[in-house]
Structure 1
Amino acid sequence: MTRLFKGLEGLCRLLILAAFLVLSGSVLLQVFARTFLASAPVWTEELTRFCLIYIGALGAGLALRSGDLVNVDLLCESMPGRQPWIMRLLCALLTAGFALVLIPPAWDYTSIGMRQTAPSLGWRMDFIHAAMLVLFVTLALWALMRVYEMLSRRHDGRPIPMSGDE
């Protein structure tokens, strides 16, 4: 299971890098066009927004895993005994529960986009709205992985630094 999650982590990081590179290229094109050309393409702003949406969606689960999401460590870690561990477990369960509950509405939201297109790019919006599915599925997976690791005593539930961040 660990190899599966390492693969998922690598895939998310690769997709975030791709979205960031597209975003960077789009912004550079917009700046170049506004500076040196008579008019700038309007689709670059829309593409930039879509890239930002996917960067956030792909990064949320990784942020949960690495501890980059907002935590209340000050409160948690000041408690005596096993209470910090119980709070971390409860938070992971709640995060997974909320994410799982939000998957069906995210699916509905995505399917609505099939009948819509982006104004300047002309892309079907279900591809863009699918970012919400990605967000909730990856967030649920990372939270459930934390619960599994805690219950199997492989980890204490504290944030795990990403490879290269140690």
Structure 2
Amino acid sequence: MSLSSQINNPSDFVSKLETSIQWLLRIVNWVFSVLAVSALLAIAAVVILQVVSRFMLPSSPIWTEELSRYLFVYLVVMGSGLVISHNRHVRLELFQGALNRFWTKCYQIFCHLLAGGFAIYILPYAIKYAQIGRWQTSPALEVPMYWAFLSVTFFFALTAFYSFMSALLVLLERDGQGVTS
């Protein structure tokens, strides 16, 4: 399909763009869902190992508490984008119910752009923060703290990505139902 035919039929172009964005979000959601579930299962396994080793072994591994902490941080980070994608994040809805459909969409777009803009603004600082961890290692696991500090960078990158994609979907939607992916 040529660009001129897309311009002549903007509704078809918008529909294809919306479908493409939803397809991309479904794939990204699946990846981060698998990562979040994997982190949760790993936390459960590590905690069970810690509990069992305290009662059944002469000594318990010292690395389990540290690993479960890092896994929990990444679980929250991976889940944060999914929360934005499904429009389930914490927000102020005090006056949103009183708005008509047009102003509700404007408010949703504003909130998504505000969150995404803030994440983009903070992202360079998060990258600098992660660089601090290059010269430190964790006490028990002895892995570079860079991987723990990098979670902040992932968090703001995911927040920016999901916020801007959600704003675009709200802008493109025609039925006023909100972001559904």
TM-score (norm 1): 0.89
Superposition CA RMSD, Å: 1.7
- Mapped pair 1:48 → 2:98: no
| CA displacement, residues 78-112 of structure 1 (integer Å, 9 cap, x when unaligned) | 22452222111110110100111111011001111
Q: Which residue of 1 aligns with 2:126?
A: 106
- Relative distance call for 1:157 and 1:87 in structure 2 (3 A) is farther
- Looking at CA atoms only, which structure, 1 or 2, has the larger radius of gyration? 2
CA contact (8 A) 1:89 1:157 kept: no
Q: Runs of 4 or more off by more than 4 Å in structure 1?
A: none
Select the residue among 133, 139, 148 that pairs with 2:168.
148
Q: 3-state DSSP class of the match of 1:82?
A: helix
CA contact (8 A) 1:85 1:157 kept: no
Q: CA deviation at 1:146?
A: 1.2
CA contact (8 A) 1:19 1:51 kept: yes
- Where in structure 2 are the equivalents of 1:1-166 lying within 5 Å? 1-80=21-100, 82-153=102-173, 156=176, 158-160=178-180
CA contact (8 A) 2:169 2:179 kept: no
Looking at structure 1, the residues matched to 177 and 149 of structure 2 have their Cα atoms a distance apart, in angstroms, of 31
- The residue type paired with residue 112 of structure 1 is I
- The residue type paired with residue 133 of structure 1 is T
Q: CA deviation at 1:148?
A: 1.1
CA contact (8 A) 2:138 2:145 kept: yes
Looking at structure 1, the residues matched to 24 and 136 of structure 2 have their Cα atoms a distance apart, in angstroms, of 35
TM-score (norm 2): 0.82
Instruction: Mark the runs of 5 or more structure 1 residues left unpaired by the alignment.
Output: none
Number of aligned residues? 161
